[in-house]
Amino acid sequence: MKEITCRLLVIGAGPGGYVCAVRAGQLGIDTVIVEAGRPGGACLNVGCIPSKALIHAADEYTRAVHLSAGKSRLGITAAKPSLELAKTMAWKDGIVGRLTNGVVALLKKAQVKYVQGRARFLDGKTVEVDTEMGRQVIRAEVIVIATGSTPVELADLPFGGRVISSTEALALKEVPKKLVVVGAGYIGLELGTAFAKLGASVTIVEALSRILPLYDAELVRPVEKRLDTLGVRIITGARVKGLAKADAVAITSTDGKSSTLAADKILVTVGRKPMTDGFGLDAIDLDMDGRAIRVDDKCRTSMRGIYAIGDVTGEPMLAHRASAQGVMVAELVAGEKRAFDRVAIPGVCFTDPEIVSVGLSPEAAKAAGIDVKTGIFPLSANGRAMTLEREDGFVRVVARADNHLVVGIQAVGANLSEMSAAFALALEMGARLEDIAATVHAHPTQSEGFMEAAQRALGAAIHI
């Protein structure tokens, strides 16, 4: 096949890669993108979107169950709902299909050439792709590696059979009766919660002493409480040894005690690792940072003309970080001056309630030697939360004690993910407590909790 030459080649069409390519196309850069699987990457196909679809369906189902059990204070009763998970999955697949087709359309509109197949580096300027029609060589002045990440496998509990990763969990045709989730990070908890709501009996096993170890205990407490109400069993400080019988896992606790847990499915969510295998990275010998490709604040790798973005560059492995890096690299290639100096990359955990975190937690700020003031406002004192029947959770603002510059904002509560943008923007604009306290927030909304948390840090909260 005829060689393709282009200015920019992007490897991988996840939220890092396709966004980079679309932006480059908008800027008039002659761009090619290669994708081995389906456009949209982990995020659209087996990550953010399908998981949030399943979470939404699980929430709706719980509501219906709640209404049928006659527990609703709202005066609504309904007959007992039934669930057909295969249909739920078909619905989810429909959405995923629309979004991935959308990505193809966006690439086309931006005049980006899409090549289907696995790319392999031949050298720093050349890549070969095995396409359906044969071997395709692509030469590019600039190459962006956006190959993403894959689930980490446990040596003692390899994937296969009952042992599944998030990808298989998002394609189950039946709700497992007994589900054991290994690893209490956000992916395990999001999916574990959804399946518990859909009727599975769920046990979560975590090696560390608490769940969601990336978030502080105060933030996680409302989630723990809700898991308890949902009947989810949590075992911390325990390691999984392997399959016991065909239908159970063996675990050992820190004090050496062994036991087994019956399981129809075992979902292993112990993290994701950068995807650096099988595409000839050794041919170009880039500097690494552990398992990730090392990049600077412009996402440049150690080789001129090669950039890396997204999960392949390590933590935080988040779709919006990948996209933001993608836009930046496209603009750099177009000759604009850019650097990745984000003060705020919001992290959202779509558990129940949801956790949002932007910037520094009180501990992180203290560890960084910053003397801070914090203000917490509980949603139990928020009118909107009461009318929505969800008073659990709070908003917390962390600011420098000396000049009140806000350095972090965290919140936990139903539906608070949509507050993440206001938090991020406040940090990016260099807001002080006074700025947030003095911004008029609409009544009655949960966002008033943000304003009141800032007011409380200033000793002037009204509703508490």
- Which of positions 261-290 make contact with ligand FAD (CB under 6 A)? 275, 279
For the record, the structure tokens of 78 come out as: 């309904």
Three-state DSSP state, 421:
helix
Q: Which does 420 bind (CB under 5 to 8 A by kind): other proteins, ligand FAD, none?
A: other proteins
| Cα(11)–Cα(126) distance, integer angstroms | 12
Q: Give Cβ neighbours of residue 296 (< 8 Å, ≥ 6 apart).
A: none
In whole angstroms, how close is the CB of 343 to ligand FAD at the nearest point?
A: 18
Instruction: Give the one residue of 320, 396, 432, 456 binding ligand FAD; rule: CB under 6 A.
Output: 320
Does the protein bind ligand FAD through residue 185 (CB under 6 A)? no
In whole angstroms, how close is the CB of 387 to other proteins at the nearest point?
A: 4
| DSSP tag of 442 | -
Q: Which does 275 bind (CB under 5 to 8 A by kind): ligand FAD, other proteins, none?
A: ligand FAD
Does the protein bind ligand FAD through residue 31 (CB under 6 A)? no
Q: Among all residues, which ones are annotated catalytic?
A: 443
Whether residue 191 contacts residue 269, with contact meaning beta carbons closer than 8 Å, is answered with: yes
Binding mask 345-384 for other proteins (x = CB under 8 A): xxxx-------x------------------------x-xx
Does the protein bind ligand FAD through residue 436 (CB under 6 A)? no
Instruction: Give the one residue of 4, 27, 30, 37 binding ligand FAD; rule: CB under 6 A.
Output: 37
Q: Give Cβ neighbours of residue 60 (< 8 Å, ≥ 6 apart).
A: none
In whole angstroms, how close is the CB of 18 to other proteins at the nearest point?
A: 9
Instruction: Give the one residue of 6, 9, 10, 17 binding ligand FAD; rule: CB under 6 A.
Output: 17
Question: Omega before 353 cis (within 30°)?
Answer: yes
Binding mask 45-64 for other proteins (x = CB under 8 A): ---xx--xx--xx--xx-xx
Single out the residue of 171, 113, 444, 140 nearest to residue 305, CA to CA. Answer: 140
Q: Give Cβ neighbours of residue 49 (< 8 Å, ≥ 6 apart).
A: 40, 43, 95, 96, 99
Does the protein bind ligand FAD through residue 239 (CB under 6 A)? no
Does the protein bind ligand FAD through residue 12 (CB under 6 A)? yes
| Cα(360)–Cα(380) distance, integer angstroms | 24
Q: Give Cβ neighbours of residue 111 (< 8 Å, ≥ 6 apart).
A: 25, 31
| Cα(410)–Cα(217) distance, integer angstroms | 12
Does the protein bind other proteins through residue 78 (CB under 8 A)? yes
Single out the residue of 39, 149, 148 nearest to residue 97, CA to CA. Answer: 39
* Residues in binding contact with ligand FAD, number by CB under 6 A: 38
Instruction: Give the one residue of 299, 317, 328, 409 binding ligand FAD; rule: CB under 6 A.
Output: 317
Does the protein bind ligand FAD through residue 387 (CB under 6 A)? no
Q: Which does 148 bind (CB under 5 to 8 A by kind): other proteins, ligand FAD, none?
A: ligand FAD
CA distances from 168 to 24, 63, 171, 234, 444 (A): 34, 26, 5, 22, 41
Nearest to other proteins of 18, 121 (CB atom): 18
Instruction: Identify residues 210-239 at the interface with other proteins (CB under 8 A).
Output: none
Nearest to other proteins of 127, 169 (CB atom): 169
Neighbours of 339 (CB within 10 A): 11
Residues that bind ligand FAD (CB under 6 A): 11-17, 34-37, 41-43, 46-48, 51, 118-119, 146-149, 166, 187, 275, 279, 310-311, 317-320, 322, 350, 443-444
